[in-house]
Amino acid sequence: MAPTRYLRSSASRDVNPDLDVERKTPSFDVEKLTTILDGGAENTRVRRAVEAVIHSDPVLSREDKYFLSQNESYEAAVKKAVHLKKMMHQMKWTEAGLESKYCTRALGGEVAFTLHSVFMESILALSTDEQTAKWIPLAENYCILGSYAQTELGHGTYIRGFETTATFNISTQEFVLNTPKISAMKWWPGELGRSATHAVVFAQLYIKGKCYGVHPFIVQIRSLHDHSPAPGVTVGDIGPKMEFNHIDNGYLLLRDVRVPRENMLSRFCEVLADGTYVKRGSEKINYFNMIIIRVKMLSNEVVPTLMKACTIAIRYSVVRRQCELKPGDQEAKILDYQTQQQKLLPMLATAYAFHFMNQYMNELFSKGYREIKQRNFDSLPELHAFSSGLKAIYTEHCTAGVETCRKACGGHGYSLLSGLPSLYTRLAASCTYEGENTVLLLQTARFLVKCLGAAHSGQPVPPSVAYLSAANSERCLVRDKRDFLQPDVYVEAYRHVAIRVLSSAAAKLQALVQSGAEQHEAWHQCTVQLVHAAKAHCHYHVVKSFAEAVEKLGQEAGIQRMIKHLCGLFALHGIFSNTGDFLHDGYISGDQVDMMTASYLDLLAIVRKDAVPLVDAFDFTDETLNSALGSYDGQVYRRLYQWAQRSPSNTKQPNQAYENYLKPLFQNGLSKL
């Protein structure tokens, strides 16, 4: 695993011939596509420069990742994080800069101190200027390390239900924080388990017996002198997880923990010395920050994970040979099987679709940010609904997609050394964190139902739902399979379904209310269908954005042609996988489904040809992929063998199980043991 930057050194490498041939005649300029994906050649240059630095630093090597216990992972992550922060400080790379983003990418997101950033962001968002002046310099200089303690053992999504209390004591001018019962323990906050010295803790504020709802408080967790828990604090690690074992997610139990009045973050409300509660300003800007985190997570974590899984699985699938396609021939590359193409290539198309949707989202949110800075909050409900729904469908599709890629690699995909299991187990968390998907989809649905009502009564609606105002088309007019390759055709089909599914859910809702059901009960009875409507809305937007992005690639004919195939593949895969949605009201007929299927299968064969260049364009280094199956050179079997030999299951001698249990068994036999 010597550091290698393949794009600059491929000539000198011993590339598997089966993989090499896949790269001989790409139908487009791969390097150009990379720069488009990076958002410009300058970004590509910076990224590669950062990767060169990161990958040449032995402290930051991830080659032992798959062999570490939870404790070892944690220790390694802290060591790396301290080293990285020092390096960034020396290189003058700022936290908000491009380099920092590329550091995270190069390291596969496996860095500690993520929650420290959230701690700082929350202070910046929620504190007064004086509070910022006190805490931010300490945090920036790592004299303290922060966590963000919101979720409780018994409460996640429903913030109003939190049970931690902060009671104001006028005489001492302090808040007294308490965990009244086990379910009220803070549970999950990253870096709380073993590292953090401080945390922003959310608690129900009580003044003179009256509850004012949930507020943020800065609480010291551990001594700055010897790291022992602060008085009244019980703190620890929540134990092993499916992944993220390098992070010390923690629990926190508070017993009469006292913090000074100044420790309540008071940008939006303050408790005066006499116990008067003062509210000020709008929290909407804070709300927007929460949405922004969701959007960033999609570009920085969710979509790249699917891209990596596609890279590994597709490269492996042209190296792995199995069975004969034609009797008597050499065993065939598994990517030449239609069933393998049908597993992997739609996932590749999904990665591209979501990438282009991200670009669109980033533009939309930049615009939203400009408006909000001018205290115009009109677009907030739309941005919230949009980002919630997209977060849900991105994480759902990408998580399932990564697992599809993993399974498509058969037995070797089950080895941690393939890199695929940890991509899956890591991404699986994203369906829950930053908002549970079903809850988010229902928030999107609530917005959609409202907008549909507005649209029907002729009121103006936000841009992303303007399509609800137009009449719905009745029938798809396609007569030939090739027509299904036209973006107009499939975008319109998705639009039709989005309107139909939403209208149908809204009609049921209305009927229930009219027949006497209470609003909340009617809503409850429609939730399965409302979730469906929210997904259809988001799916339509992704297809539409992808088709629009293809249009914008006009300058690059080869790339445009290829990306248009991917756009078609993404759209038709969605129809193929959900034909019922399109058939339900006769918008398309069974015969048209057959045409669509034919076009879909044709596209698989077309995209197959350029599958390797299309994943090469993502330009992940071998070190970032950290996969025995997915390296640029395709030396799959050699690498699996080499890496396995490094496993502690081989290096740790002697074999205690043999010495203690097997040896006496073999020597005596079971009957005499």
By CB under 8 A, the residues from 413 to 442 that bind its own copies are: 413-417, 421, 425, 428-429, 431-433, 436, 438-439, 442
**What angle do helix axes 590-609 and 338-373 make, rounded to 10 degrees?**
90
Return the number of the residue (486 or 519) whose C-beta is nearest its own copies.
Answer: 519
DSSP for 66-121, please give it.
GG--HHHHHHHHHHHHHHHHHHHHHHT--TTSHHHHHHHHHTTT--S-HHHHHHHH
Q: Judge whether 579 and 476 are in contact, CB under 8 Å.
A: no
Fill in the amino acid letter for 387.
Answer: S
Residue with tokens 């055709």: 489
**Residue 366 engages its own copies in binding (rule: CB under 8 A):** no
Return the number of the residue (185 or 295) whose C-beta is nearest its own copies.
Answer: 185
Binding residue for its own copies, selected from 56, 69, 94, 173, defined by CB under 8 A: 69
Say if strands 165-169 and 269-271 run parallel, antiparallel, or are unpaired. Answer: unpaired
Return the number of the residue (49 or 662) whose C-beta is nearest its own copies.
Answer: 662
Give 527's contacts (C-beta < 8 A, 6+ positions apart): 442
Whole-angstrom Cα distance, residue 477 to residue 491? 13
**Residue 572 engages its own copies in binding (rule: CB under 8 A):** no
Return the number of the residue (142 or 212) whose C-beta is nearest its own copies.
Answer: 142
Q: Judge whether 136 and 221 are in contact, CB under 8 Å.
A: no
Shortest reach from residue 290's CB to its own copies, in Å: 17
Shortest reach from residue 338's CB to its own copies, in Å: 5
Please give the span between the terminal C-alpha atoms of the chain, in angstroms, as a whole number: 46
Name the segment binding its own copies (CB under 8 A); options: 171-179, 305-313, 385-393, 636-644: 636-644
Name the segment binding its own copies (CB under 8 A); options: 91-99, 128-136, 200-208, 408-416: 408-416
Binding residue for its own copies, selected from 58, 132, 144, 515, defined by CB under 8 A: 144
Shortest reach from residue 144's CB to its own copies, in Å: 7
200-229 binders of its own copies (CB under 8 A): 224, 227
Shortest reach from residue 38's CB to its own copies, in Å: 29
190 is in an annotated binding site: yes
Binding residue for its own copies, selected from 75, 483, 548, 556, defined by CB under 8 A: 75
Shortest reach from residue 307's CB to its own copies, in Å: 21
- Structure token digits, residue 384: 């919230």
Binding residue for its own copies, selected from 171, 326, 460, 471, defined by CB under 8 A: 326
Whole-angstrom Cα distance, residue 185 to residue 367? 39
Binding residue for its own copies, selected from 70, 286, 472, 510, defined by CB under 8 A: 70
99, 243, 434, 492: the active-site residue: 434
494-523 binders of its own copies (CB under 8 A): 504, 518, 520-521
Q: Tell me whether residue 659 is one of the annotated catalytic residues.
A: no
Phi, psi torsion values for 341, nearest 5 degrees: -60, -40
**CA-closest candidate to residue 421, choices 444, 402, 440, 445:** 402
x-or-dash string of contact with its own copies, 378-407, rule CB under 8 A: -------------------------x---x
**Residue 643 engages its own copies in binding (rule: CB under 8 A):** yes
Shortest reach from residue 145's CB to its own copies, in Å: 7
**CA-closest candidate to residue 468, choices 491, 446, 451:** 451
Shortest reach from residue 190's CB to its own copies, in Å: 12
Whole-angstrom Cα distance, residue 572 to residue 577? 8
Angle made by CA atoms 321, 324, 328, in degrees to the nearest 5: 125
Shortest reach from residue 659's CB to its own copies, in Å: 9
Return the number of the residue (58 or 590) whose C-beta is nearest its own copies.
Answer: 590
**Residue 94 engages its own copies in binding (rule: CB under 8 A):** no
**Looking at the chain, how many residues does it have?**
673
Name the segment binding its own copies (CB under 8 A); options: 269-277, 450-458, 619-627, 633-641: 633-641
**What angle do helix axes 557-577 and 527-552 make, rounded to 10 degrees?**
160
Residue 299 is given by DSSP the state I
Identify the bridge partners of residue 259 per DSSP, sorted by sequence position: 175
x-or-dash string of contact with its own copies, 581-600, rule CB under 8 A: xxxxxx---x--xx--x---
558 is in an annotated binding site: no
Give 520's contacts (C-beta < 8 A, 6+ positions apart): none
Q: Judge whether 431 and 306 are in contact, CB under 8 Å.
A: no
Q: Which residues are catalytic?
A: 434
Could you list the residues known to form a binding site, using ranges. 151, 190
Binding-site positions for FAD read: 151, 190
